[in-house]
Amino acid sequence: MVSPDTAISITFGLISVSISLLGVWISYLTLRAMSLDTGNNNNQLPFVHERILRHEHTHIIAPFARKRAPSMV
């Protein structure tokens, strides 16, 4: 006979594995949909319309420079 603690831990383990697999499946479907959307965009504008393609990024948190670790010489 299996103890109740073992049964509970096995049940939670199976639930967490199924939730993880569901998340991986949803991620796969999302990535596949994104690649299909970008793959069908073959209409490139000529170089004359460069100003149309310009865009800006607004950062909520200012980007910071990484500090490099001192090199071992």
pLDDT at position 2:
87
Examine residue 60 and state whether it is found in any structural domain, yes or no.
no
Examine residue 20 and state whether it is found in any structural domain, yes or no.
yes
pLDDT at position 34:
76
Tokens representing 63?
């980007």
Q: Which domain holds residue 16?
A: 4-53
Task: List, for residues 44-61, the tens digit of each pLDDT value.
Answer: 555 555 556 556 666 667
Examine residue 64 and state whether it is found in any structural domain, yes or no.
no
How many distinct structural domains can be found in the chain?
Answer: 1
Report if pTM > 0.85.
Answer: no
Task: List, for residues 60-72, the tens digit of each pLDDT value.
Answer: 676 666 666 666 6
Mean pLDDT of the chain: 75
